[in-house]
Amino acid sequence: MFSDSPVIVWFRDDLRLADNPALHAAVAAGRPLICVFVFDEESEGIRPLGGAAKWWLHGSLAELDKALGVFGGGLVILRGRGDQVIETLATETKAAGVYWNRRYDEAGRAVDTRLKTALKARGMEAESFNGGLFHEPWTVKNKSGAPFRVFTAFWRAARGNGDPPLPIPAPVKVSFYAARPEMTVALDDLALEPGKPDWAGGLREAWHRGEVAGQRQLETFLEESLGGYTANRDRPDRPATSRLSPYLRFGNISPRQIWHAAMASGRSPDLDKFLAELGWREFSYHLLYHQPDLATHNFQPRFDAMPWIKDAAALRAWQRGQTGYPIVDAGMRELWTTGWMHNRVRMIAASFLAKHLLIDWREGEAWFWDTLVDADPANNPASWQWVAGSGADAAPYFRIFNPILQGEKFDPDGAYVRRWVPELAALPASAIHKPWTAKPAVKAYPVPIIDHDFARRRALDAFAQTRDRTTQN
């Protein structure tokens, strides 16, 4: 190897400089860096990003390039099969090694394994690191050495492994490889942001993307909303949640950074509750690692017998926020406009699709995958399966949210509904979650597409059929 041969840092879901173990190791190698992102929609099994996630990715890549520019370099953007592109780049630049932070989906792991094997066969270093979780999924097991299926037991064991390591500071000096690879493409060439029609106006109003914005969001949450988090987190009418999920999804901020910043605020029940929410993210990746087909197959096989209903009209009404149930419709419209939905409302909307409408949870998971800026390969399917009743540690199927009561409990004054369903803005709080009772009737808003009591009985009957079929088999 040449003494001035570079090392490659392959960025993926870790689009930040601080607490980036792969970047830290590459800088410590004392060689010039090539910082690379590969847009890969070609590797077998890699799930293409949805539209909202692509929009977030564009902004994150632009911000990362700007941050690297402070050191006199930049981000090299390539496209194609990840392992082949990186191997070609390493060969052409005579790189001494390649560094990256691990991912945990099966297709991504397969790509990384092929690359590591190919690079080592060429005599190059190939090192991977934990840059996105508190603990590697294979390190948290029950007493029998098996993966956990219940969150509380998992989180207790994970906490027993101790606090996560302190985050690594961002580098203070970086040297870059001078030559620009011929394969480089412009960020705009990836067409990650919408053209015509430009549907991202609401996303731009709601979010600032990238590492700096993620740190600011964390600071704001800790200063303004962590106190009272336990009491307020289920209220969509209040700014009480962290809104850190898209920053975590794309690695603009790391869970270790969030953990230690939150711990520095002082122990409290609110802190413990917030940390447990980070634990749910950790649990979701634990599930994904051990059940790679989490987005396509029921975690509990008995749900394979569930008599789902194909109803394109009902699905479309749900997607558009036209179900006639205000709390559901408010959430779906918030999602379409901003690329995000309050977590309590996500549960209500998901329950409505899977239980009121008896539409396969995979339809909802796919819609969220396309419309959420925080669409996550572990959180999204794990959460959908949890609500549907088919997942690990799932809510019992017979627990069917009443969207009227949920709205009255968590949006008691109707402020959230009024914001996202403006045709109901003039209704009093007593009628806003059941507008069909208002006199005169609200003509601009649809009547419920299904009666709650009927839907509940039908869902329970469907589950009973599923249970009977499973018993017979």
Q: Report, as residue numbers or ranges, the catalytic residues.
A: 277, 280, 308, 343, 361, 384
Amino acid sitting at position 52: A
Q: How crowded is residue 96: how many other Cβ atoms within 10 Å of its Cβ? A: 22
Which residues have a Cβ under 8 Å from the Cβ of 445 and sit 6 or more positions away?
A: 324, 326, 421, 423, 424, 435
> Residue 101, SS3?
strand
Which residues have a Cβ under 8 Å from the Cβ of 19 and sit 6 or more positions away?
A: 131, 167, 168, 169, 170, 254, 256, 257
Bridge partners of 34?
A: 8
Strands 97-101 and 7-11: parallel
**What DSSP letter does each residue of 172-237 carry, written as one string?**
S---B-SSPPTT---GGGG--S--SS---HHHHHH---SHHHHHHHHHHHHHHTSTTHHHHTT-TT
Closest CA to 292 of 80, 467, 466, 44: 44
Place of tokens 């890699």: 46
Residue 166 CA: distances (Å) to CA of 119, 147, 161, 211, 256: 30, 26, 14, 18, 7
455: left (phi > 0), else alpha (psi -120 to 50), else beta?
A: alpha
Q: Is the peptide bond before 440 cis (omega within 30 degrees of 0)?
A: yes
DSSP state at residue 391: S
Integer Cα distance of 288 and 106 in angstroms: 8
Q: Is 419:411 a contact under the CB 8 Å cutoff?
A: no
The CB-based long-range contact list for 150-153 (8 Å cut-off, 24+ gap) reads: 150/392, 150/393, 151/279, 151/280, 151/283, 151/392, 151/393, 152/393
Integer Cα distance of 325 and 68 in angstroms: 48
